[in-house]
Amino acid sequence: MQLKDRQMIKIEKIAFGGEGVGRIDNFVVFVPFAAPEDELEIEITQCKKKFARGKILKIIKASPLRVKPLCNYYESCGGCCYQHISYEQQLEIKKRQVEEAFVKIGRINSPLVSAAVPSSPSYHYRGKAQCHQIISPAGPKLGFLDISGSKIVDIKRCEIMEETINDKIGRIRENASGRKGKATRRTIWSDLPGEHTGKKGQIRRVVKGKEFFVSSDGFFQNNLFLTETMVDEVILKALSGQLNTVVDVYCGCGLFSLFLAPFARKIFGIESNPKAVQFAQMNAEKENIKNIKFVCGDAGEELLRGEFLTLSGKIDLLILDPPRFGCSESVLKAIEALQPQRLIYVSCNPVTQARDVKLLTDSGYNLSSLLPLDMFPQTQHIEVIALLEHE
């Protein structure tokens, strides 16, 4: 197989990351923007020892799972990769990808993966955009990186953003200024009634009737319609056992801690971002919650010193909600030393989650359940809530 070869291929499934997978003479070929059961003519764009990659030249026979993408920039912008696949099938694809990750990486035989919880709506759900802006000779460009990750796709509207973000993108473009050729990044939050505050550097969000303030350059769950469901599921799993002592690792602005406070005797929240800790403390004080202590520092180091060492064997529940790259080695070592009775692991990356769960099961935990939530429709990403219990 050579570069620029034209080949015929039938797509078998969608791999984690969003590309279609097929075989030519039993050799694996990945094809972006393909759908299961597509019969395609492709051009080979990359050849490796164990796989190749191709681009679609012609759809010979379209998969019955195909739908028309809503976005005018689809297949140019690198943000979405599933708009051409029916939403019901997207959910099935993501559930299977979670299963495969925990079988292949987590070494879990027949993992108990529930059906993926859908997002309603599946478009215009994002409450935050991180855009790239550049002043070009032809004028300002504001949008997202293309599928190669090297150029900015200038967009007028994004179909997965809440509409007030699209309005802001238009106004920013109209008033754009700056040095030509210098790229900058802009964070744009949605501006729903009651959801945004005018105080500089501070964003207000409401979840299940509670106010949460977060730094404008900080993190908060992006799906405006599924965050409450995620909180409900974490609470439900937390209430499956005792809650005298709870440790919330990577706690951010305190989302899970505040909702678990009525059920627990004492909660410790650990977060490395000082701004996030300040907002977490403010959010707890505003709700008059007295049984949470927030600690600023590296989670692994904090867990292995001070008062946490006295909690060894006494932690009823430890919650993990790490960034995409998963838990640090020090956090996993601390968990092994402290031996919490139960773990709830919330992740936006089932690959790193499965890797970490493998280490946790090796240190004495059983994986009880996996619940995918489609916090990121039309994209390759999926949120997963895992419950682990000590043997």
Question: Pairing mode, if any, of strands 20-24 and 6-14?
Answer: antiparallel
> Two tokens at 181?
């050729």
> Two tokens at 373?
């939530």
Phi and psi angles of residue 44, each rounded to the nearest 5 degrees, phi first: -70, 125
Per annotation, catalytic residue among 19, 100, 233, 383: 383
Catalytic annotation on 302? no
* pLDDT by 10s per residue, the chain, length 391: 889 999 999 999 999 999 999 999 999 999 999 999 999 999 999 999 999 999 999 999 999 999 999 999 999 999 999 999 999 999 999 999 999 999 999 999 999 999 999 999 999 999 999 999 888 777 788 999 999 888 899 999 999 999 999 999 998 888 876 666 677 888 999 986 655 555 678 999 999 999 999 999 999 999 999 999 999 999 999 998 889 999 999 999 999 999 999 999 999 999 999 999 999 999 999 999 999 999 999 998 889 887 888 888 899 999 999 999 999 999 999 999 999 999 999 999 999 999 999 999 999 999 999 999 999 999 999 999 999 999 8
Phi and psi angles of residue 11, each rounded to the nearest 5 degrees, phi first: -85, 130
The DSSP code sequence of 111-160 is: --BPPPBPPSSSSS-BSEEEEEEEEETTEEEEEEEBTTSSSEEE-S--TT
Q: What are 86's strand-pairing partners? A: none
The pLDDT value given to residue 193: 61
The pLDDT value given to residue 15: 95
Q: Which string of b and e fits 368-383 if b means at least 16 CB within 10 Å?
A: ebbbbbbbbbbbbbbb
The pLDDT value given to residue 198: 53
Closest CA to 94 of 319, 370, 388: 370
Task: List all residues 6 or more positions away from 175 whose beta carbon is below 8 Å from its beta carbon.
Answer: none
Domains annotated on the chain, with CATH:
6-66 (2.40.50.140), 90-120+220-390 (3.40.50.150), 128-189 (no CATH)
Distance of CA 109 to the CA centre of its chain: 25
Neighbours of 208 (CB within 10 A): 11
Peptide bond into 193 cis (omega under 30): no
The pLDDT value given to residue 195: 56
Per annotation, catalytic residue among 77, 253, 327, 348: 348
What angle is formed at CA 384 by the lines to CA 238 and CA 337, rounded to 5 degrees? 60
Distance CA 374, CA 120 (A): 10
The DSSP code sequence of 88-115 is: HHHHHHHHHHHHHHHHHTS--SS--BPP
> Two tokens at 170?
């238009």
Phi and psi angles of residue 230, each rounded to the nearest 5 degrees, phi first: -60, -45
Phi and psi angles of residue 55, each rounded to the nearest 5 degrees, phi first: -115, 150
Catalytic annotation on 228? no
Give this prediction's pTM.
0.93
The DSSP code sequence of 3-65 is: TT-EEEEEEEEE-TTS-EEEEETTEEEEETT--TT-EEEEEEEEE-SS-EEEEEEEEEE--TT
Peptide bond into 121 cis (omega under 30): yes
Closest CA to 249 of 168, 338, 172, 369: 338
The pLDDT value given to residue 184: 84
Q: What's the Cα-to-Cα distance from 78 to each of 95, 200, 333, rounded to whole Å? A: 22, 31, 36
